[in-house]
Amino acid sequence: MTASNLACPKCERAMDPVTLGTVVIDHCAGCSGIWFDEGELQAGLSQGGKRELRRLSATAEAPGEHDLKAARCPRCRTAVDLIRAPSPTEPDLHVDFCPECGGVWYDGGEVELLLSDSLGGRIGKFFKGLVGG
Ligand SMILES: [Zn+2]
Ligand SMILES: [Zn+2]
């Protein structure tokens, strides 16, 4: 059984599934962006995925290269645009999240932001708060 790969919301390449402990995240080899379905970020981090995430997110491009591009949710695809919210720690950069399925997208280099602060466990709440839930 093969699940069809999600397409990168920024550069539209097929993303590669990457296993982090018990979760499978989606990584774009083209722009180093990472898609987390709801809860996968916290789960991956709690299972020691920090190092791997840092490696996956590493990019030669300056962070922000793809930051301003509008994107569609790779999971809901059809009509749902991702909402761009300022990062809790770096307001100059944005995190894209889907109000429909709760997934979160980090552009290449942006995961570093998340890992370098202590918000990992609280980020879900942060986004839920933003959409008024
Ligand atoms: Zn991409
Ligand atoms: Zn979605």
Q: Tell me, what's the pLDDT at 3?
A: 56
Instruction: Give dist(CA 105, CA 113) in Å, integer.
Output: 13
Neighbouring residues of the ion ligand 2, judged by CB less than 5 Å: 73, 75-76, 98, 100-101
pLDDT digits (tens, 9 = 90+) for 67-84: 667 788 999 976 678 988
Ligand 2 center to residue 37 CA distance, Å?
8
Q: Tell me, what's the pLDDT at 118?
A: 47
pLDDT digits (tens, 9 = 90+) for 82-129: 988 877 667 777 788 898 899 999 888 888 777 765 454 455 555 555
In 3D space, the residue among 11, 5, 9 whose CA is nearest the CA of residue 25 turns out to be: 5
Q: Could you tell me the residue ranges of all domains in the chain?
A: 16-131
In the sheet that holds 34-36, the strands lie side by side as: 16-20, 23-27, 34-36, 104-106, 94-97, 83-86
Rounded to the nearest 5°, which phi and psi values hold at 72?
-100, 150
Ligand nearest to the CA of 9: 1
Residue 42 confidence (pLDDT) above 90 = no
